[in-house]
Amino acid sequence: MKKISLLILLFLAGIYVSAQLAPLSFGAVNSEELGMKEYPPDKSAEAVVLSDAGKSYFIETESSFDVVFERTTRIKILTDAGIKWAEVEIPFYHEGDIYEKVYNIEAYTYNIENGNIKKTPLNVSSVYVEKENNSWSLSKFVMPEVHAGSVIEYKYSINSQYFFNLRSWEFQWRIPVKYSEYFVSLIPFYSYSWILQGAGKFSSHTSGENSSITHYVGSTPYHEMQEKFIMTDMPAFRDEEYITSINDYIIKLDFQLCKIYYLNGGTKDIITTWPLLIDELIRDEDFGKYMSKSQKAADKILNKDSLQKKSPEEKYEYVMNLVKRNFSWDKSSTKFASKSPDKLIKDKFGNSADLNLFALGLLNAVGIEAYPILISTRDNGKIKYDYPFLHFFNYILISAKINGNTIISDATEPLCQNDMIPPRCINDKGLLICKGKEEWVSLQCSSLSEQKTDFTINLLDSGTETKMISSLTKYQAYLYRKSYGSNDSLLKASLIKNRYKLNDDKVEISNPYDVNLPYIYQCTVGNTSEIINNKIYISPFLDEPMSNNPLTQNNRTYPIDMTFPVRKTFSSRIILPQGYNVDFLPSEDKIKNELFELSYSALSDGKNINIIFTYTFKNSIYSPDNYSKIKYFMGEIVKKGNEKVVLVKS
């Protein structure tokens, strides 16, 4: 049997014999696989996918077609850490007309026992269904009798009414994959385009019409179009810190429906270009039309007449504040509205599309030109600009034109100014949904977010007393508003981590929620100086500059994404007490290049010592080539930021 299928595959794939080129047939686990102790191409692998084969094809139903997805996977468990791969989860979808079904689950664990292969079946009654939310469930099971050395193999099928996106296929896993194949058999009524991410080409890709079998729909004959995509010897995907999303990097294949051919000869373009996708969205009930419905509903919550005399800026501020303060975000990121404007007005909460499309409708209602921007949030991954696929996107922002300027904003985030978007949305570019043109809007933040901290240090009998006042703007302020807001005890707890003793046990916060003003906090910190050999050692900036380099690893393969450019300035004035001289002042320092800047100066005029330390990360993203530079720079910040001033009694 194995021989025959191999022959057929060789025929399909052309002459190609250098590597494994067929999926392993189900059940044919051999003792070589069971005896395998490590995977030579990656000796640190805890498990390896020996074969992973997927197949999508159509079956005719009474009224239409369903898509069937079948998968067969064989995994070798190499170490204890690999045992987690013996827990299998199969997600499936159900909403409206779509009710996917997982069936034909069959699975076995293979072990060597007394020199023989022992095959233990999965008891199908121990397949459980977990309901994740109203639309997604998981079929899940645990393979029996698994330990380091076992081989597990499972197969299942999913029947689906959803043919808009065929199931995508991930060639790469978090463990190495020896052989991965996706086979799709298409009917001539639906045409799909596909996109491969993370790799330039397949190990093998074949396509052709299967003319050996003729199918009929009614009396119309047709042949299936078959495509087979193969990837071999995929390395494990190893995650790292500070990347946007695994979705951006893993090697996978996505499909989207682009055209429907009707039996009567007519056709319908689903999406072929960005302008067509834009038109589609403008006509969509839960997108473009939702904006017009919101525009009509505007009278219910705002008085347009009273706004007439206001300037565009004032109108814009008014509408954005109205939405931000009266409607809260339910934390779900979506591109389509989920409830009617009237229901939103009643509920006072909604998803990101509800809130932003509603705000867009209101903006239009008061005469402001505003359009949605379709984006993908950071955790959802990057957009592929060459492929007009709607499913890359998961969120909507607002683009408004005020006196010729374009302002981008997000009505879900009351802690951001009305011309800012929250960090979760800062992800490359978004697509402006405006009829008749294709425009990509940069979401990157180019302006600096600053934190300026001033220290005034007095020397008392009890030691130093340091007055600290810190002022934060833009994203720096946003982060403080989000973490602490007006909650002085939380902020205090974060300051006390540095073992400060606060005078009156107090921190004062100004403008906690006035997003157009800087977030300011101030406090007075008790003695932090040390006296050694009659010399006084003073930290000019307390322990406020970072004290350890956050980049601890030795190298890195993905970009370092700081989200937004940052400048921090520390400025300290030490008032010299009578009878003391300066014994040591830290040296000046200056670094300036296209990536970052740092400057440090310390001066004494006999009465005061003034020290200013400032550094800037000019970019929001640094490529991995710059890792060692950034790590070095962080090291310099730690070094200069924590240097001390030494005073001595004259």
Partner 1 sequence: MNKIVSSAIALLIAACTFSLGIFSVWPSGPVRFAGSVQLRDAELLNMERNIIVSNNKLYKTEKVEIKINNRAGEKYTKISIPYSKMVHVSDIEAYIIDASGVKINTLKRSEITDKSAISDYSFYEDVYVKEFTLKNNTYPYTLYYSYKEQQDEFLSLDYWQPVIGQSIPTLQATLTLEIPSNYKISYTSRFISSFAADTSGTRIKYTWKTSYRDILPSELFSPSLTGLLPEVQIIPLEFKYDQPGSQKSWIELGNWYWKLISNLSDLPAVEQNKIRSIISDTDDKKEKIRKLYHYLQDAVRYVNISIKTGGLKPYPASYVAQNKYGDCKALSNYFRSVLEAAGIKSYYSLVNTESPVTPILKSFPSQQFDHVIICVPVGNDTLWLDCTSKLAFNYQGTFIQNRNALIIDENHSHFSRIPQLSPDEVTESRRIKVTPNNTGGILCSINYIFRGENYEAFAYLMRNYNENEKSRTVIDALAKGGLEVIDYTLIDPGRDSKEIHISCTGKCNKLFRQYGNDLLISLPPVEIPLFEEPSVRKLPVQIDYPINKTDTIEFTLPDGFNLSSMPKNKLVSNDYGMYFIEFTQNGRKITVIRKFLLNSGNYPLEKYGSLYNFIKDIIESEKTSLIVTSNKI
Give the three-state DSSP class for 477.
helix
As measured in angstroms, the least distance from the Cβ of 585 to partner 1 is 9
The angle at the Cα of 597, spanning 594 to 603, to the nearest 5 degrees, equals 150
Q: Which residues contact 219 (CB under 8 A, 6 or more apart)?
A: none
348 near partner 1, rule: CB under 8 A:
yes
Residues 371-400 that bind partner 1 (CB under 8 A): none
Give the three-state DSSP class for 378.
helix
Widest CA span in the chain:
107
> Between the CA atoms of 576, 577, 580 and 584, what dihedral angle is there, to the nearest 10 degrees?
-30
Cα-based distances in Å from 636 to 498, 546, 625: 20, 10, 19
Is 60 or 514 the residue whose CB approaches partner 1 more closely? 514
301-321 burial code (b ≥16 CB/10 A, e <16): ebeeeeeeeeebeebbbbbbe
508 near partner 1, rule: CB under 8 A:
yes
Q: Which residues contact 152 (CB under 8 A, 6 or more apart)?
A: 74, 75, 77, 85, 86, 107, 108, 109, 110, 143, 146
Residues 514-533 that bind partner 1 (CB under 8 A): 514, 517, 530, 532-533
Q: Which residues contact 18 (CB under 8 A, 6 or more apart)?
A: none
Distance CA 289, CA 631 (A): 50
Task: Find the part of the chain contacting partner 1 (CB under 8 A) among 138-146, 156-164, 363-371, 397-405.
Answer: 138-146
* Backbone phi and psi for residue 589, each to the nearest 5 degrees, phi listed first: -155, 145
Task: Find the part of the chain contacting partner 1 (CB under 8 A) among 154-162, 285-293, 318-326, 455-463.
Answer: 318-326
DSSP 97: T
Per CB under 8 A, the list member of 53, 83, 184, 251 interacting with partner 1 is 83
628 near partner 1, rule: CB under 8 A:
no
Beta carbons of 634 and 549 less than 8 angstroms apart: yes
Per CB under 8 A, the list member of 81, 105, 469, 612 interacting with partner 1 is 81
Residues 530-569 that bind partner 1 (CB under 8 A): 530, 532-533, 535, 537, 547-549, 552-554
Q: By CB under 8 A, how many residues form the interface with partner 1?
A: 85
Residues 31-50 that bind partner 1 (CB under 8 A): 44-46
Q: What is the DSSP code string of 135-202?
A: SEEEEEEE-SS--TT-EEEEEEEEEES--SSPPPEE---SS-EEEEEEEEEE-TTEEEEEEEES-SS-
Task: Give the count of alpha carbons within 13 A of 115, CB side only.
Answer: 0
306 near partner 1, rule: CB under 8 A:
yes
325 near partner 1, rule: CB under 8 A:
yes
624 near partner 1, rule: CB under 8 A:
no
Per CB under 8 A, the list member of 157, 193, 321, 608 interacting with partner 1 is 321
As measured in angstroms, the least distance from the Cβ of 244 to partner 1 is 18
Task: Give the count of alpha carbons within 13 A of 17, CB side only.
Answer: 3
Beta carbons of 302 and 310 less than 8 angstroms apart: no
Per CB under 8 A, the list member of 31, 61, 104, 326 interacting with partner 1 is 326
As measured in angstroms, the least distance from the Cβ of 453 to partner 1 is 19
Residues 145-174 that bind partner 1 (CB under 8 A): 145-147
As measured in angstroms, the least distance from the Cβ of 602 to partner 1 is 12
As measured in angstroms, the least distance from the Cβ of 260 to partner 1 is 32
Whose tokens are 């300036």? That residue is 592
Distance CA 171, CA 204 (A): 13
Residues 222-261 that bind partner 1 (CB under 8 A): 236, 238, 240-241
Per CB under 8 A, the list member of 130, 285, 342, 588 interacting with partner 1 is 130
632's enclosing H/E stretch is helix 627-641
126 near partner 1, rule: CB under 8 A:
yes
As measured in angstroms, the least distance from the Cβ of 118 to partner 1 is 11
As measured in angstroms, the least distance from the Cβ of 284 to partner 1 is 23
Residues 565-594 that bind partner 1 (CB under 8 A): 583-584
Task: Find the part of the chain contacting partner 1 (CB under 8 A) among 9-17, 319-327, 382-390, 433-441.
Answer: 319-327
Please choose, from the candidates 448, 644, 482, the residue with its C-alpha nearest in 3D space to the C-alpha of residue 547: 644
Which x/- pattern over 414-453 shows residues binding partner 1 (rule: CB under 8 A)? Answer: x---------------------------------------
Strand ranges, E, within 410-496: 429-432, 439-442, 449-460, 463-472
As measured in angstroms, the least distance from the Cβ of 349 to partner 1 is 5
As measured in angstroms, the least distance from the Cβ of 552 to partner 1 is 4
Is 97 or 504 the residue whose CB approaches partner 1 more closely? 504
Is 274 or 349 the residue whose CB approaches partner 1 more closely? 349
Is 182 or 358 the residue whose CB approaches partner 1 more closely? 358
644 near partner 1, rule: CB under 8 A:
yes
Residues 454-493 that bind partner 1 (CB under 8 A): 485-488
Is 144 or 624 the residue whose CB approaches partner 1 more closely? 144
647 near partner 1, rule: CB under 8 A:
no
Is 508 or 588 the residue whose CB approaches partner 1 more closely? 508
